[in-house]
C-alpha cells in the first residue's frame, strides 16, 4: 500500500483531509518529520489562514528544504488552499517570502460593485489542462468549494490547470507542473467531486509508486 504524508505545520485542515483520503483506502500519515516526508510515496501540503503565518510556521518546523526536496524528487505532490499559495514567491497579503517553487505572486481580488470578498462557497471550475490526473472522472465543469480572498498569479500561464470566475475576474484555481499539482479550493469539503479528486491523486501516487518499483527491480 502506498503511503501519503500529510504535512503538519500547524495550519492545515488535517482531520478533514485524512478522513477524505481514508475513503480511498490509502494510509495517510500526518507528520512534520522530514524523514517520513522523504520516504512517503506522495505528499499533501494543506493550509488555511494567512500567508505570512503559514510560511512562518513551515519554517519554524524546519520544513522549507523538505518541501523543496519532495517536489524535486518527482513524487506526486498536492498543495491545497494556502498550501498552493506558499509555493509562490510572495503575497500581497503580507511581507514574507514564499517558497519560490513556482515563479509568481499571490494577488488580492480587485474590489468591484457587488463582489463579495472573500470568495466563499461553491463555484464551477474551468479546466485548462484536462490531461492531468486530478481531473479524471470529474464533471465537465465541476462544482467545488472555495474560501479565499487571494489567488495565485503565475509568471508562466502554462502551469495553470484550471480557473474560476468570481464577479468579472477569472483567476487561477489550480496549477500543475510535472509531479506538482495544487488547488485553491478545498477538495475535502467539496462533496463527491472533491472526494473523486483526492481518489485521483491516490491513484496517481499508486501508479507512480508501481512504476518506481518496476524501475528499481
Kindly list the catalytic residues. Answer: 81, 186, 188
The DSSP secondary-structure symbol of 194 reads H
Number of H helices, E strands in the chain: 6, 13
**CA–CA dist 34, 64 (Å, integer):** 10
Summarize the chain as % helix, strand, coil (round to 5). 35, 30, 35
Peptide bond preceding 118: is omega within 30 degrees of 0, i.e. cis? yes
CB under 8 Å to 21, separation ≥6 — which residues?
Answer: 4, 6, 28, 44, 198, 202
Residue found under cell 491516490: 202
Amino acid at each position: 500500500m502506498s503511503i501519503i504524508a500529510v504535512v503538519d505545520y500547524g495550519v492545515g485542515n488535517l482531520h478533514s483531509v485524512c478522513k477524505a483520503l481514508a475513503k480511498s483506502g490509502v494510509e495517510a500519515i500526518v507528520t512534520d518529520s522530514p524523514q517520513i516526508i522523504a520516504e512517503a510515496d506522495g505528499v499533501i501540503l494543506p493550509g488555511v489562514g494567512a500567508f505570512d503565518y503559514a510560511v512562518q510556521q513551515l519554517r519554524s518546523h524546519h520544513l522549507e528544504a523538505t518541501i523543496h526536496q519532495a517536489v524535486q524528487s518527482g513524487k506526486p505532490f498536492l498543495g491545497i488552499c494556502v498550501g498552493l499559495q506558499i509555493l509562490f514567491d510572495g503575497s500581497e497579503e503580507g511581507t514574507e517570502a514564499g517558497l519560490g517553487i513556482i515563479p509568481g505572486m499571490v494577488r488580492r481580488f480587485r474590489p468591484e460593485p457587488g463582489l463579495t470578498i472573500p470568495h466563499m462557497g461553491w463555484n464551477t471550475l474551468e479546466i485548462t489542462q484536462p490531461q492531468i490526473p486530478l481531473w479524471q472522472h470529474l464533471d465537465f465543469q465541476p462544482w467545488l468549494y472555495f474560501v479565499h480572498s487571494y489567488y495565485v498569479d503565475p509568471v508562466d500561464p502554462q502551469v495553470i490547470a484550471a480557473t474560476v470566475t468570481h464577479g468579472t475576474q477569472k483567476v487561477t484555481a489550480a496549477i500543475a507542473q510535472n509531479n506538482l499539482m495544487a488547488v485553491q479550493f478545498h477538495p475535502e469539503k467539496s462533496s463527491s467531486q472533491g472526494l473523486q479528486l483526492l481518489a485521483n491523486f491516490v491513484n496517481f501516487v499508486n501508479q507512480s509508486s508501481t512504476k518506481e518499483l518496476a524501475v528499481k527491480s
